[in-house]
Structure 1
Amino acid sequence: MKLNELRDNDGARTSRFRVGRGIGSGKGKTSGSGVKGQKSRSGVAINGFEGGQMPIYRRLPKRGFTSLNKVVYEVVNIGRLQKAIDAGKVDAKAPITADVLAQAGVISRIGNGVRLLAKGELKAKVEITVTGASKAAVEAVEKAGGKVTVA
């Protein structure tokens, strides 16, 4: 292979379709917009428009609100932690933190912190530091001989 022989795959770059360029092009005259009406004109914005009738998003009652300061934790179940230890991705003898879990691929990102939950079974003795943990998860880790530190 030479540099002057490098090419894109077939169909990787297609030229822009030029509409309104004569009847023979297949997209002449109305340019694929049909005949007359609001949708054939430019500047159409009719999402949610119901022909003048009161739109459904205005007819329905509004309830609750979305908090701007909501804290969402990354969740780790103890069963998932045990799987990572068994696979050799996490060292059970070393202290486990959010960074260790992220590098091992147990969580995708650290975000606002990690919360430990009790789904599954833990056999290894671990020392883990997390942002939050359920009572059942703390009991399960301590039962296995480990320790949970909530930072």
Structure 2
Amino acid sequence: MTLSNLKPFAGSKHREKRVGRGPGSGHGKTSCRGQKGQRSRSGGGVPPWFEGGQMPLIRRLPKRGFKNPFRVEYAVVNVRDLARRFSAGAVIDVEALRQAGLVKGRAVRVKLLGDGEIDFAVTVRVHAASKSAREKIERAGGSVEIVEA
């Protein structure tokens, strides 16, 4: 068996239905769409979510919650991540975190959280930092600077 003599299984392939090619084809005139009605028209038919005039599901369900349009999203970085990826004396800003793979996507702001430990001094420039993260970095001899977005 080679690529040149491979064939599909018998019955697995069908001839293409060529519609609108005259009465002799068996698919002429109305092109298998019937006479009149919504489904015979160009662009006709109902969308998959249409429920036949019944009140749609999305309108039957109760509305819940609130989405704050002014919410500010932060990418989260832990002290543990800094200890693993950076060395003593490093200046860690948003761009350095992005290059280290700690900040991904379109996250504009970065918040430093205090999970983990660090035992060397680093300078961190982020948009926000938790109290515990700030204490741990300052205890190790480093500093945390808050930058504006």
Which aligned pairs between 1:1-151 and structure 2 lie closer than 5 A?
19-21=16-18, 42-85=43-86, 91-109=87-105, 111-151=107-147
Structure 2: distance between partners of 1:137 and 1:21 = 69
Q: Which runs of 5+ in 1 are unaligned?
A: 1-17, 23-27, 86-90
**TM-score (norm. length: structure 1):** 0.64
Q: Which runs of 5+ in 2 are unaligned?
A: 1-14, 20-25
- What RMSD in Å do the two structures reach over aligned CA positions? 3.0
Deviation at 1:45, TM superposition (A): 4.1
Deviation at 1:50, TM superposition (A): 2.3
Partner amino acid, structure 2, of 1:43: G
Q: Which of the two has higher C-alpha Rg?
A: 2
Structure 2: distance between partners of 1:129 and 1:110 = 18
TM-superposition CA deviations, 1:17-76 (whole Å, max 9, x none) = x95327xxxxx95xxxx9979779753342332232212211112123323332111111
Identity %: 44
Alignment length, in residue pairs? Answer: 120
4+ aligned runs moved over 4 Å, structure 1: 34-42
Structure 2: distance between partners of 1:141 and 1:127 = 8
Deviation at 1:80, TM superposition (A): 1.3
**TM-score (norm. length: structure 2):** 0.64
TM-superposition CA deviations, 1:56-114 (whole Å, max 9, x none) = 211112123323332111111111111112xxxxx431321111111222212463211
